[in-house]
Amino acid sequence: MNGTVPHEQIGKYSGGFVLIKPAAVGTGVIAGGAMRAVLESAGIHNVLAKSKGSSNPHNVVKATVDALTKMRDAYTVAQNRGVDLNKVFNG
């Protein structure tokens, strides 16, 4: 998926909230400190991310992991719904 995330996702942990959005190829990891480390460790190369709420690195890391674990790709959605992959994209 071009080294990015499949869709926009919000993650939260305690007082920390993060927003992760897909980005075009060549954008890089646009994220701050603790969030950048998690995203780079996960192998994501192109992403836009913003930390909202608590700036405590522990909360930001856990919120980032929460957002990444909530992500689903189109293949998983199609399988869960029991429909063809084309139906997921074209309705």
Best CA proximity match to 65, nearest among 1, 13, 4: 13
Residue 73 near residue 79 (C-beta atoms within 8 A): no
Residue 47 near residue 21 (C-beta atoms within 8 A): yes
- The span from the CA of 77 to the CA of 46, in Å, is 22
Residue 16 near residue 54 (C-beta atoms within 8 A): yes
- At 1 the pLDDT is 56
In the chain, the domains with their CATH numbers are 9-90 (3.30.230.10)
- At 10 the pLDDT is 97
Q: Is 85 helix (H, G, I), strand (E, B) or coil?
A: helix
Query: pLDDT tens, 13-64?
Result: 999 999 999 999 999 999 998 999 999 999 999 999 999 999 899 999 999 9
